[in-house]
A and B are shown apart, each in its own frame.
Chain A
Amino acid sequence: MALDVGTLATQMLSAALPILKKDAQDAESFAKTEFTKIAQTIVSIGEQVASGQINQQQAGLLLDMQTSASRNVLLTLQGLALLAVEEAINAALDVVKTAVNTALGFALIA
């Protein structure tokens, strides 16, 4: 069976897309949870300043801590995206391996 560009491309996409979609949903769920916590704390800090529980300097330092937390959430999302791409690429390459070995009739690529 000869290798067909269109068929191979479709197979690679079929292998990669579900992985990207699943991982995107996982990342979205994590991001939503963490950003909700951060948002709640930021609102709380505002209320604490208004009520006099903390002063502005303390509020500034606490907001800096929330900024660092936000950065870490974004870095995790970046890492999860890289992992998703890696998984998708490897799945697509597995399809290439199978297609080549099938077309040749022997396991050229182990």
Chain B
Amino acid sequence: MKKRPQAVKSGSWFVGFPRPRVGEAFRSTSDREKNAMRMIQTTYGKLDKRTSIVAWMSSFVLAALLLAGCAVRVIGDYDDTIDKGVTDVQQKAELYLAKLQSTPSTPYDQAFYDDINARLAVLKSRAASLPKYPLIVEQLANLKSQFDKLQQLDKSSARPFPSAIATDAESAIAVSVESILKLELALKRGQGAPPAITKTGK
């Protein structure tokens, strides 16, 4: 008794015939059926392989063309508010430290640190909300840490305030600010907005 191969489930692109597998023997007594299945198996196998290669090559070419039409952005854009904000923080710090150096008896001023902390918190929030800005977020955190250390020094140091501390602290804060501004200004990329995504990309 002939045993016909089972059909595949509906939805298969080759409905009605079983998907031939390499090495599988079909239980068919007819030579014609055997030859037919062998032809289908060979054709199906070649088509499948060819289709796969063509699909991969097309995807690669398409991806290359799409990528070639787009500008790559790996880091965020310049932000004027952060630029000005960090500069303002430095100006306030310079003023306070200059006062400590010119008048070493100047008492500890909590209002100064409250003001600086508030400004840095706002700048950090802004940086955190901007895309691709994690480096500057971290830099602002480091700058805040420096002011925390300065506050500890200021609070714990007897008056007259050691001028060496003011000088060293000023230097450390200046390096941090210069680093932040160096990166921020570099984000201008020398000109205005980046080129828009081309028609092939969208």
Contacts and interface: CB of A to CB of B under 8 A. Distances in A.
B179 A75 contact: yes
A92 B91 CA distance: 42
Contacts of B189: 83, 87
Given A61-B153, A72-B139, A86-B72, A66 B186 contact: no
Name the residue among A53, A58, A89 with the largest chain B CB count within 10 angstroms. Answer: A58
A76 B183 contact: yes
Interface in B160-178: 162, 164-165, 167-169, 171-176, 178
A45 interface: yes
Name the residue among B70, B138, B179, B183 with the largest chain A CB count within 10 angstroms. Answer: B179
Interface size class of B (residues with CB under 8 A): 35 or more
A90 B72 contact: yes
Interface of B, helix, strand, loop or mixed by DSSP:
helix
Interface string A43-70: 0110010000110011001101110110
Given A66-B172, A68-B172, A100-B65, A79 B153 contact: no
A38 B172 CA distance: 7
A9 interface: no
Given A65-B169, A68-B172, A83-B189, A90 B71 contact: yes
Interface residues of A, number: 42
Interface in B97-138: 135-136, 138
B84 to A, nearest CB: 18
Contacts of B42: none
A71 B152 CA distance: 20
A18 to B, nearest CB: 15
Contact of B165 (A30, A58, A82, A83): A58
B64 interface: yes
A10 interface: no
A12 B163 CA distance: 55
A65 B129 CA distance: 26
B145 interface: yes
